[in-house]
Structure 1
Amino acid sequence: MSTQELFVAAARKHLSAGRKSLSVPQSLDLAAQVLAVDLGLKPALLYDSNGAGADQLQQYLSSLQCSQLVSKSLLTLDLNGNTLIFNPLTVRAKVEQIIHDNNVAVIDVCHSLEKPTIADPLRGELRSLTHDLLLLLKRLEQLNEAEKPCYVGEKSEEWNLCTVFGILLGFPVTYWFDQTKSFENCLSLTP
């Protein structure tokens, strides 16, 4: 089997939702994204191609790792039902860089604001979130070659997932809002 056929076969075997499996182009696109994570070109991939869950994504990743298509260092992370494949070293370096260099723009989109504003990325809630992520990543690095997805427990329920995904995916700009007050934002009021 060619490398492309191995990627497609793994996706079709492990990532079907009901009777629907990924198409060849979808399988190859996913393969390219996973390879980008493996090579450190991007820190993580948020999987949203179909209804496959964390366990299925872990089986897919394990299959790729057993076929030596990707390194064994990649891990699967489940945050409140949202699944990511991530490179622990790349993500950790990104989070440490945010803490030390303050190099991510955070846009406050709280519903109480008239328009989005630039927020201080190291203010209380955001600093706490970033440090929590760093501690989580340090723990996950010890799980080299995990056979099961890593599930983030109750702590992630306090996190603003919009901000977390922006950080984990390596976006240069991420949104923040105080979800303890409302999950709504002011973006709908912006022309």
Structure 2
Amino acid sequence: LIVSALYVDVARKYLSAGRKSLSVPQSLDLAAHVSAVEAGVKPALLYDSNGACATQVQQYLSSLQSLQLVSESLFTLDLNGNSLIVNTGAVRSNLERVLHDDSLAVIDVCHSLDQPAVFNSQRGELKSVMEDLLLLLEHEEAEKPLYVEKSEEWNLCAVFGVLLGFPVTYWFDQTERFENCLSMTPLMVITASASWQADGPHHRCCLYSFTLPAALQEETQSKLEDWELRLQERFKQQRILKDLRISQATVSLPSVCL
């Protein structure tokens, strides 16, 4: 079988939700994302193609590993019921960079604020979360998902931003309420896409998509530029993906769910 067909077969075998398997386009899109994680172009992916559980995602990943399509450095993390496929080395280096170089723009979007504001990513609660994540990544048993329940202590919105390698992440005080102050706030949507070609036609996929308040663009510009440079550098070091494109647009939404 050709490589793209192998990816499709494995996805359709293991990642069914109920009686429904992933479609071929969904399977190819997932393959492109997994390839990007494998290459370190993105540190992790959040599995949201359907309702498959972490065990199924791990079976999918283990099958790809047994076929030598991806390496043993990838594992499945179940964070409060959300499945992620993680490149251990890439996430570790990203976390260490955030901790030591302050390379992450953290935006406070608490409902009580009139407008979003940038705050220091080295604040106690965030710093301890990132240190906890580094400890978790010492998890060695790649055959099983790593299950982590942190709904009370961690702001998952901020954690996902860090794990997925975004240069910007949102934070709010979840002990107060889960609403935010982003309603009708002009948001810049930044996307990075690339073309994946295993052996057949090119499959274009969106590798990154995140937002930040347009009013904070200038304040966060240096972190965005650093992220873009690092992404371009990592992209040059691999051959799986081609034609990296980074774009931005502005939207305003009546409500924003984080």
Deviations 1:17-64, CA, capped at 9 Å, x for gaps: 111111111101100100110111110000001010100000000010
Deviations 1:115-169, CA, capped at 9 Å, x for gaps: 10011111121112121112212x22x33xx11111013x453111100000000
Bigger relative contact order, structure 1 or 2 (CA pairs below 8 A, ≥6 apart): 1
The structure richer in helix per residue is: 1
1:167 corresponds to which residue?
162
| DSSP-derived class of the 1:187 partner | coil
| DSSP-derived class of the 2:152 partner | helix
Tell me which stretches of 4 or more aligned residues in structure 1 moved more than 2 Å: none
2:79 corresponds to which residue?
79
36-45 or 120-129, which moves further after superposition? 120-129
Tell me, which stretches of 5 or more residues in structure 1 are unaligned? none
1:181 corresponds to which residue?
176
Q: TM-score, normalised by structure 1?
A: 0.94
Find the aligned partners of 1:86 and 1:51 in 2 and give their Cα distance.
Answer: 18
Q: Tell me the CA shift for residue 187 of structure 1.
A: 0.9
Q: Tell me the CA shift for residue 190 of structure 1.
A: 2.7
Find the aligned partners of 1:53 and 1:157 in 2 and give their Cα distance.
Answer: 22
The percent identity for this pair of structures is: 69
2:148 corresponds to which residue?
152
Query: 2:48 matched to 1:48?
Result: yes
| DSSP-derived class of the 1:85 partner | strand
18-27 or 126-135, which moves further after superposition? 126-135
User: Equivalences for 1:97-176 in 2 at 5 Å?
Assistant: 97-137=97-137, 139-140=138-139, 142-143=140-141, 146-153=142-149, 155=150, 157-176=152-171
- Equivalent residues of 1:74, 1:87 under 8 A apart: yes
What is the CA RMSD across the aligned residues, in angstroms? 1.1
Find the aligned partners of 1:43 and 1:156 in 2 and give their Cα distance.
Answer: 22
Find the aligned partners of 1:18 and 1:72 in 2 and give their Cα distance.
Answer: 29
Tell me, which stretches of 5 or more residues in structure 2 are unaligned? 187-258
- Equivalent residues of 1:107, 1:118 under 8 A apart: yes
1:17 corresponds to which residue?
17
| DSSP-derived class of the 1:86 partner | strand
2:224 corresponds to which residue?
none
Find the aligned partners of 1:72 and 1:160 in 2 and give their Cα distance.
Answer: 29
Find the aligned partners of 2:129 and 2:61 in 1 and give their Cα distance.
Answer: 28
| DSSP-derived class of the 2:107 partner | strand
Q: TM-score, normalised by structure 2?
A: 0.70
Q: Tell me the CA shift for residue 188 of structure 1.
A: 1.6
The structure richer in strand per residue is: 2
- Equivalent residues of 1:115, 1:189 under 8 A apart: no
Find the aligned partners of 2:151 and 2:131 in 1 and give their Cα distance.
Answer: 13
Find the aligned partners of 1:87 and 1:175 in 2 and give their Cα distance.
Answer: 22
